[in-house]
Homo-oligomer: A and B are copies of this chain.
Amino acid sequence: MSSDSDTVSYPADVLAAVTSRVLSGLGAPDDLSTLVAKSLVLSNLVGHDSHGFIRLIEYSGWVDAGQLNPGARPCLSWSKGSTALVDGRWGWGQAAAALGVAQAIETARENGAATVVLSRSNHVGRLGEWVDALANAGLMGLAFCNTGGAAVAPHGGVKRVMGTNPFAWSMPGPDGMNLVLDFSTAMIAAGKVVLAAMSGGEIPRGVLLDRAGRPTTRAADLDDGGALLAFGGHKGSGLSILIEVAAGLLAGTLPAAISQSGYGNGTVIIAVDVARYTAPDVVAAVSRQFADVVHASAGTGTVLLPGELEAKTRAERAVHGISVASGVQRQVAQLAGKLGIDLPEFA
Q: Using CB atoms and an 8 Å cutoff, list the residues of chain A in contact with chain B.
A: 80-83, 85, 110-115, 117, 140, 142, 153-161, 169-171, 173, 179, 181, 183, 213, 231-236, 238-239, 241-242, 244-246, 248-252, 254-255, 257-258, 268, 270, 272-274, 276-278, 282-283, 286-287, 289-290, 293-294, 296-299, 301-306
Contact = CB atoms under 8 A, between A and B. Distances in A.
B258 A303 contact: no
Contacts of A231: 232-233, 235-236
Contacts of A302: 156
Contacts of A248: 286, 290
Contact of A286 (B114, B258, B282, B298): B258
A285 to B, nearest CB: 10
B241 A306 contact: yes
Contacts of A276: 80, 83
Contacts of A112: 80-83, 115
A302 to B, nearest CB: 7
A181 B113 contact: no
B171 A246 contact: yes
A169 B242 contact: yes
26 contacts: A81-B113, A82-B112, A82-B114, A83-B112, A113-B270, A115-B272, A142-B142, A155-B303, A156-B302, A156-B304, A157-B297, A157-B299, A158-B299, A169-B242, A171-B242, A179-B241, A232-B235, A232-B236, A235-B236, A242-B306, A244-B290, A245-B286, A249-B274, A250-B274, A252-B278, A257-B293
A303 B293 CA distance: 40
Nearest to A112: B83
Contact of A250 (B81, B236, B278): B278
Contact of A246 (B81, B140, B155, B282): B140
A83 B272 contact: yes
A297 B258 contact: no
A185 to B, nearest CB: 8
Nearest to A257: B293
B298 A156 contact: yes
Contacts of A155: 303
A238 B181 contact: yes
Contacts of A83: 111-113, 272-273, 276-277
B287 A245 contact: yes
A22 B24 CA distance: 72
Given A82-B82, A82-B112, A112-B115, 5 more contacts: A83-B273, A83-B277, A161-B293, A255-B293, A258-B286
Nearest to A258: B289
A114 B107 CA distance: 12
A134 to B, nearest CB: 12
B303 A242 contact: no
Contacts of A252: 277-278
